[in-house]
Amino acid sequence: MLKLPASLRTRNAMLTALGVVLIAGTTTVVAQTAPLEAVQWDKRRLEQLDRNVRRLERAVTQRNAAGQPVIIEPDPEVIALQGRVGLMDRRLSDMEATVQRVNGDLERLTFQLDEATRDNAALGIRVRDAEGRIRAMELAAAREAELNAPIPTTSPTGDAVRDLTAAARLAATDPARGDRALQTVVLAWPDTPQAQEANSRLGDLRISAGDPAGAVSAYAAALRGWPTTTWAPATTLELANALNATDRKAQACTALTEFGRRYAEAAAPAVRTRATEARTRIGCAAAPAATPLRRPG
């Protein structure tokens, strides 16, 4: 084997290293100026790459043996790129931590919002309930004020028949207000058949309300002069029952006697039957002497 002088070997090694550096520099410049086309790695190219790698290994080994180690310095741009990548990793980690913290805050806010929604719904129910109670109280107060106000003495329609019809209709649905309407008929149209019928209806309302004493007064006013109307027989019978309920048995029997004298013949069979039952229940004599019926009160 031909052995070269040491100086020549050193020179060749330097040239080889310089060639490697130039090749690396050229490669870097080319890589920076224009992108390389994709390499098609076939068997021939792989074998060539293997030969080049072996050649470089031998060159590096020779330089190391000659006391001239090969120092491969990283590309500054690669270092800078690595620094930027590291910075991006740290920023990404910070962003992930921030996103996790924001997600936690969102979950907490969502839970608080759900609680606030439930509280608002419950508060809305309570407010609506309070409003309903207030409206009911206002209506009750207005009704109480209306029922306790003085009874009007003027006709609401200007006609006695229409006043009585409206009052009777109101009494069927609202007895308290109907009572006031019937009293208005009595005050607005005194000494009329409508006032007498209104008193008869007032007596019925007082009986329904558990006020037999008030019913006696109303029935007596309705029967003043012993009218010959269709409602008079039943009203006379109700007067007798109300008098008996207020411990005025004698007057109750007198009312039943007047019924027999004045209305029994024209009364409906059901009313006559009730009168007979009342006479027996109250304990009136079979044929009592007719005595004037004093106005109760």
* CA 240 to each of CA 213, 231, 246, 249, 267: distance values in angstroms, whole numbers, following the listed order: 12, 15, 10, 8, 16
Angle CA(87)–CA(92)–CA(97) in degrees, nearest 5? 130
Q: Which amino acid is at 241?
A: N
Whether domain 191-282 has CATH 1.25.40.10: yes
- How many CB atoms within 10 Å of residue 92? 10
Closest CA to 272 of 259, 291, 254, 285: 259
Cα dihedral 224, 226, 232, 234 in deg (nearest 10): 90
Q: What percent of the chain has pLDDT over 90?
A: 47
pTM reported for the whole predicted model? 0.56
Mean pLDDT of 40-62: 82
Average pLDDT, the chain: 82
Q: Which residues contact 160 (CB under 8 A, 6 or more apart)?
A: 185, 188, 189, 192, 194, 195
* pLDDT tens-digit readout, 176-220: 999 999 999 999 999 899 999 999 999 999 999 999 999 999 999
pLDDT: is 192 or 72 the higher one? 192
Task: Answer yes or no: is pLDDT of 13 > 70.
Answer: no
pLDDT tens-place string over residues 269-285: 999 999 999 999 999 97
DSSP 65: H
